[in-house]
Each structure stands twice: as structure tokens, then as C-alpha cells.
Amino acid sequence: MTWVYAHLPLAAALTALGVASKKIVAIEGFGDRITESYLWLLVGSIATTLIATAVLAEVTVSPHFAIDRPLRLGPRLVAAAALLALPVVVGFEPAVVVVSLVAGVTLGQIGFEVCVATLGERRLKSKMAAELSGLDGNCQDLAAAEPQQVDDAVCEQCRAEGQTWVELRVCLTCGHVGCCDDTPSQHARAHRDETGHQAIATIEPGSNWAYCYEHDVLDSDWTELDSEWAIRGTT
């Protein structure tokens, strides 16, 4: 029901926006003073539209929301507040300045929404690709991973910090060795965050799995570990 009722102020705001726009366009000179009631009607209708659409975005249920709530709702509420502050901060004249500021805030919000929508589409495509990779057990990052030679089975960062690691992981892109997520410093994950290298493998004796952070895909039989700490693909 919230979704239905949220359309009522939206419809009223759009109607008021049409009336306000007609009155603003009828101003004879751009240097004239805008009637106070018309300017409040203009900014109020646009602000109400932004708030109503923010409410609708919040109550619309979708399993594929790829944009976080602050990014979806925050800019609309900020733009609404900026519009409502214009008459107080700027005043009502000259008309060209006031209308330009209103148009600037509105167009800026529209431009931001386009960027957010583009970002959401990219995130959604990435999420769907990850889900499909997980369903069929395939992962592009693991498929492209290269066997790595580990010369020294230690986490250099833990050793420099005087810490003890639980287990070790090797990056299948560059061969960096870091501690696992059970170790407080999580240097293997930190390496992924810093470099974007997604695929890792264990170098623990008796284990032969590889894992992709981005797609959350585990290959339980990707590698073999020999006595020289060499990681070889088992193709």
C-alpha cells in the first residue's frame, strides 16, 4: 500500500510543477523579481517529486538492487533540501539567477541519476555473471590462473609485523604469498583489495584447492603441492 500511496504526492507534485513552470515562463523580464508564492511552488513541487521518488525507490522490492541505499536515496534528498533552501539563501530576484540555480540543481540530479543507473547496470551484469559462473562451476579468473612457484612459504608481511599466521595462500596471478582470512591481518585478502588479483590457492600440505574472491567459486581439485612448495595445475 505504501507503494500506491507514495504516488499521490508524486502526482500532486507533478501537477504543481506544471502550474509553477507556466507562471515562471510568463515572467516578462529575466531581471524581474519572481513572485514568492510561485518560486516556493516551483522548488516545493520539484523537491516533493524527488522525495516521493526516493520513497518509491525504497519500498520497491527487487532482488537485483545493485546500488546501495545511501547512493540511491541520499542524492535525491540532498537535492530536495538544496532546492528548498534556494528561496531563503538566494532570494527571489533576479529571475534569471534563481531559475538558473533551480535548473542547475535539477539537471545535476538528473545527471547523477544517469551515472548511478549506469553503475547499477554494470554491477548487475557483474553479479549475474558471477552467479552463472557459480552455477556451472566455471570461473574466468580461475580458468586464467597460472601455476605459481613458491620459493619461501612465509607471509613476509606477518613476519615483518612479528605476527603468526594460521595458513598461507598464494596469488595465482603474481605469486604473492599472504596469510589466510583466519589470521587477523588477512594479508592475502588485502593483496586482492590492493591489486585486484582475484584467484588464490592454498599452499598447505594435503590441500589442493583454489578460490576466486570475486565470483565466490571454489575449485576443490585445482592444484597439487609438491615438496618444493610448487603449485602446478592438474590439467
Half-sphere exposure at residue 46, Cβ-oriented, CA atoms within 13 angstroms? 27
Q: Report angle CA 25, 26, 27 to the nearest 5 degrees.
A: 90
The DSSP output letter for 149 is B
Which of these three, 120, 136, 152, is where a domain ends? 136
In the chain, the number of structural domains is: 2
- Which three three-digit cell numbers place residue 143? 580458468
Same domain for 50 and 131, yes or no, is yes
Same domain for 211 and 175, yes or no, is yes
Same domain for 122 and 177, yes or no, is no
Same domain for 186 and 147, yes or no, is yes
Same domain for 128 and 60, yes or no, is yes
Which of these three, 136, 151, 180, is where a domain ends? 136
pLDDT tens-place values along the chain, 235 residues long:
555 676 888 888 888 888 888 877 777 666 677 788 888 999 999 999 999 888 887 776 454 455 677 777 888 999 999 999 988 888 777 778 888 899 999 999 989 888 887 887 777 677 666 655 554 456 788 888 888 888 888 999 999 999 999 999 999 999 999 999 988 889 999 999 999 999 999 988 878 888 999 888 888 776 544 434 444 443 3
Same domain for 76 and 168, yes or no, is no
pTM for this predicted structure: 0.50
- Amino acid 96: pLDDT: 82
Same domain for 120 and 157, yes or no, is no
Minimal CA–CA distance to 55: which of 96, 116, 89, 8? 8
- Amino acid 1: pLDDT: 57
- Amino acid 227: pLDDT: 37
Range of the domain at 211: 143-233
Same domain for 216 and 130, yes or no, is no
Report how far apart, in Å, the C-alpha atoms of 138 and of each of 122, 125, 144, 148, 157 are.
21, 17, 11, 20, 32
Same domain for 196 and 132, yes or no, is no
Is residue 77 classed exposed, middle or buried when 0-12, 13-18 and 19+ CB atoms within 10 A define those classes?
Answer: middle
Same domain for 125 and 161, yes or no, is no
Same domain for 14 and 94, yes or no, is yes
Which of these three, 119, 136, 153, is where a domain ends? 136
* CATH number for the domain harbouring residue 217: 3.30.40.10
Same domain for 7 and 100, yes or no, is yes
- Amino acid 148: pLDDT: 85
